[in-house]
Structure formats: C-alpha cells, structure tokens
Amino acid sequence: MELSDELKTAAWRKATKSGSNQGNCLEVAPLSGGRVGLRDSEAPEKAPFVLSASVWDAFIDGAKKGEFDF
C-alpha cells in the first residue's frame, strides 16, 4: 500500500484531554513499519508528519520524563 493511501485510511486518534480544547489538538495514527503519523486536528487536509518508530519512541520517552514541560 502506498503511504498516501495508508494515511487516508489511517485510524487517527487524539488524547482524551483534547476535549477541554474544543477537540483541537494533535492526532496520531499507527502506520506500517512501526511508523507514526502526526497531524493537526484543525487542518486534517494538510499533509501529516510521518515519524519513524525510533523518533516516536524517543519523543514519548522524553514526554514521559517531562523534558517538554513548560
């Protein structure tokens, strides 16, 4: 399957906390090969970022450790 087709049929989801933000947030979708799609829920027609599994894992690890807290 082509990546463009995979992105069209991907199972996009957002965090449950997005409800307090009128549902506007980032959405993620698992893709083949362990990749992850990342898009803005306010502009789903724009091309999403596609991250490798290792980049996504590093981001999640950093987020859990508070590395991106303001």
> What is the rounded CA–CA span in Å between residue 46 and residue 27?
12
Residues 10-24 have pLDDT tens digits of 999 988 777 666 667
Percent of the chain surpassing pLDDT 90: 61
57-58-63-67 Cα dihedral, nearest 10 degrees? 170
Residue 53 within any structural domain of the chain: yes
Residue 57 within any structural domain of the chain: yes
Can you point out the beta strands (E) in the chain?
13-14, 26-30, 36-40, 49-51
Residues 55-66 have pLDDT tens digits of 999 999 999 999
pTM: 0.79
Which residues span the domain enclosing 21?
A: 3-64
pLDDT at 23: 62
Residue 38 within any structural domain of the chain: yes
Number of domains in the chain: 1
> What is the rounded CA–CA span in Å between residue 36 and residue 8?
13
The full length of the chain comes to: 70
Residue 70 within any structural domain of the chain: no
Residue 69 within any structural domain of the chain: no
